[in-house]
Structure 1
Amino acid sequence: MSLTSDPPLDKTPPPGPEVPDDHAALTVVPVRHPWRWVAVAATAVLLAQFVHGLVTNAGWEWDVFARFFTADVILKAVWVTLQLTFYGTVVGFALGIVLAFMRLSASPFLKTVAFGYIWAFRSIPLIVQLLFWFNLAYLYQELSFGIPFGPGFFSFDTMGLVGAMSAAVLGLALHQAAYAAEIVRGGVLSVDRGQLEAAAALGIPRLRQIRRILLPQAMRSILPNAANEIISLFKGTSIVSVMAIGELFYQTQVIYGRNGRVVPLLMVATVWYILLTTVLSVVQHYVERHYAKGAAR
């Protein structure tokens, strides 16, 4: 008797297409994007038509625009607009930071007060708030300090207490604080709580945790929204024209109300808003890049 065995299995893979060793011999075909070029061409045509209309249409009255763009009254109005934006931003965000940490605190009382403030000032339109502060003397002829619901020790007249500029700054700042509080609160919540717990375990004081660990990371989330709010506030200062404050939009209204050149005067205000908004956007870019160190290339 003889023993036989099956022939060994052939484990070599089946022949496939030959792959050349030289990659330079391969033909590289770029991806085609025909519709992208169609969109570029259509956009270029529309932009060219718009620029051509700006140049050739006499209704824009560029000579009137050039005469008033750097006029003293316009430059003073731009300065008033920048002042309103600066004071509204500084006071609004300072109060907003306090409100944000009140909402994040463990105290139910502080949480309720902060939530009530934010709810009230986000619910009432800004123009209504401005008019209330502007007419404070009409609502309260005098303010007195003393025992609540009892006799007052001294009082003073409110007629000269809040002027037009003060009412505008107060209204803009208090309104801005409600939105700034939510922006700051969202940025703080975006930071991992484990980092603060680790810092507390190392014995780092609470204020140093906030200043050196929490805020630098939260600023990455806070800055884009905060910059949007500042730009919105800058353009929103035009609403104080209802209080006859000489900011940019109000002065352009006064001028074209006298000479009837509506379009070129509106373009004066528009170009100033565009220029200053561009400056704010550039500043935002560099501040964001500073706080993005270590998080983005």
Structure 2
Amino acid sequence: MDIQGITDNRVTVNVHGGIADVRLNRADKRNALDDALFTSLAAAGEALKTLPGLRAVVLSGAGESFCAGLDFGSFKGMSQRDGKTSTIGTMVGDDAITHLAQQVCWVWQEIPVPVIAALQGHALGGGMQIALCADIRIAHPDTQLSVREVFWGLIPDMTGTLMLSHLVRPDVARKLVYTAKILKADEGHALGLVTQLSEDPLVAAQTLATEIASRSPDAVRAAKRLLTRKLRAEAAEQFAAEREEIHQLIGSANQNEAVMAYFEKRSPEFRDD
């Protein structure tokens, strides 16, 4: 069934048997993140946090990709922003520890039941950070993964620095961030970014969600509370540091150069201050 008030043209949510199927629904753009998708995805997650009878969530992307990261229009718009935040940089509440761009990731940790991400095609930049905040990631072996932000003169500011530090060795996390390397999911699996490989990740995720939904919901929810306890203790301070760093980078000379060089198909010429 559709949940009234959640499903829209950017995100669809259907619940059956206690399992919520949440799908990014911008297939023609590889589910790239624009302001509308940010808003809809955060709203969907928020609604699921208090949905009665919820046992598990499957998070996926319509079409050929999970999420290719920020919409290219957002990168072009940064050069005119001069460090100012857009709608996606707005705090989601007076007592919140995240702004909107972080909340589309962190909300999957706040949901009290397990969240399984099904990845195919691309999970790049913001899309990768959303996937990192799921409890479990199942990916097609050919899925392209990347913590891509440094390529654009940015940093992984959507909770990525926290989540990476809990999933892979520190040196691996640093290499992934510093190089912005694109790797296939089979390599990501070896590094610890991907939980399981599957030729049909959505079916595999739905099967696992059904198995989890058959367990005691009280025990599963208690387990998630305990398993996310250390993350929550570190989150507020780390997310604030991400926001401070990204504020200094957006619209800076070198960040503009990274973007313009890409669109002008040339090598960037960065300067040292």
More helix, by proportion: 1
TM-score range, shorter chain: under 0.3
More strand, by proportion: 2
- Based on CA coordinates, which of the two structures has the bigger radius of gyration? 1
Q: TM-score, normalization: structure 1?
A: 0.24
Q: TM-score, normalization: structure 2?
A: 0.25
